[in-house]
């Protein structure tokens, strides 16, 4: 170009190389120096950074120029969704229950006496009527306790105490053991209980 062919022809025009990539004139044409993440003669092709599936299973990869963003599946965190969330770290189980971490979930193994998804419900063991002979049942955290009426003993107040064993009747009377008490059968000339 020029009268004496002293001016080189500029092949690079504004916008020839896409996405802000640099155009370099060559003696017989041009070359685009692509920015990272771009390819093609004019740097018009965005390299698919999601092609290698960097975000892990079940997560979504969104390609960007020279990069990608991961949208993690439930239960995963991290730049590439590579960390499985341990739901047990928040200690969701109550009353001394053990927590088992699962994929996007957890389960609680309840000790005896409690139930519910979080082992938060106390089981009322007194509902089954384990205490006998009109005794009082006290529901406890992991069981129950029977408060026996006089004359009865045992974990469920099921045993009648033999009040005659201590020979409470006097003057040759016969002791008759009864549920929760006793009766003396007196011999003449004595009277009494």
Which CATH architecture is the domain 1-47 placed in?
Answer: Ribbon (2.10)
pLDDT at 47 exceeding the cut of 60 = yes
Query: Of 81, 42, 31, which is closest to residue 59 (Cα–Cα)?
Result: 81
Residue 69 has a pLDDT of 96
Q: pLDDT digits over 96-135, tens only?
A: 999 999 988 999 999 988 899 999 998 999 999 999 999 9
pLDDT at 8 exceeding the cut of 70 = no
Q: pLDDT digits over 28-43, tens only?
A: 888 999 998 899 999 9
End-to-end CA gap in the chain: 141
pLDDT at 1 exceeding the cut of 60 = no
Q: How far apart are CA 48 and CA 139, in angstroms?
A: 65
Q: Which residue intervals of the chain bear CATH 2.10.25.10? A: 1-47, 49-85, 88-121, 124-161
Look up residue 87 and give its DSSP letter: G
Residues 6+ apart with CB under 8 A from 190: 170, 171, 173
- Per cent of the chain over pLDDT 90 is 51
Residue 134 has a pLDDT of 92
Under CATH, to which class is 124-161 assigned? mainly beta
Q: Grade residue 6 by pLDDT with cuts at 50, 70 and 90.
A: low
Q: pLDDT digits over 52-96, tens only?
A: 899 988 899 999 888 999 999 988 999 999 998 999 999 999 999
- The token duo for 66 is 């020279």
Q: What is the value of pTM for the model shown?
A: 0.49
Q: What are phi and psi of 115, to 5 degrees?
A: -145, -175
Q: Which fold has domain 88-121?
A: Laminin (2.10.25)
- Kindly report the CATH number that applies to the domain delimited by 49-85: 2.10.25.10
């Amino acid at each position: 170009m020029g009268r004496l062919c002293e001016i080189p022809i500029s092949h690079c025009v504004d916008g020839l190389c896409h996405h802000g990539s640099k155009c370099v004139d060559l003696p017989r044409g041009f070359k685009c120096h692509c920015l990272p993440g771009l390819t093609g003669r004019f740097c018009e092709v965005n390299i698919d950074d999601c092609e290698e599936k960097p975000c892990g299973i079940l997560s979504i990869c969104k390609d960007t120029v020279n990069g990608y963003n991961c949208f993690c599946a439930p239960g995963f965190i991290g730049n590439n969704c590579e960390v499985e969330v341990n739901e047990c770290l928040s200690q969701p189980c109550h009353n001394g229950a053990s927590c088992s971490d699962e994929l996007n979930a957890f389960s609680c193994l309840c000790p005896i006496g409690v139930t519910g998804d979080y082992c938060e419900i106390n089981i009322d063991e007194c509902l089954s009527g384990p205490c006998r002979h009109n005794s009082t049942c006290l529901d406890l955290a992991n069981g129950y306790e029977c408060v026996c009426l006089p004359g009865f003993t045992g974990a469920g107040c099921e045993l009648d105490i033999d009040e005659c064993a201590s020979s409470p009747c006097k003057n040759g009377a016969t002791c008759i053991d009864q549920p929760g008490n006793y009766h003396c059968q007196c011999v003449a000339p004595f009277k009494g209980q």
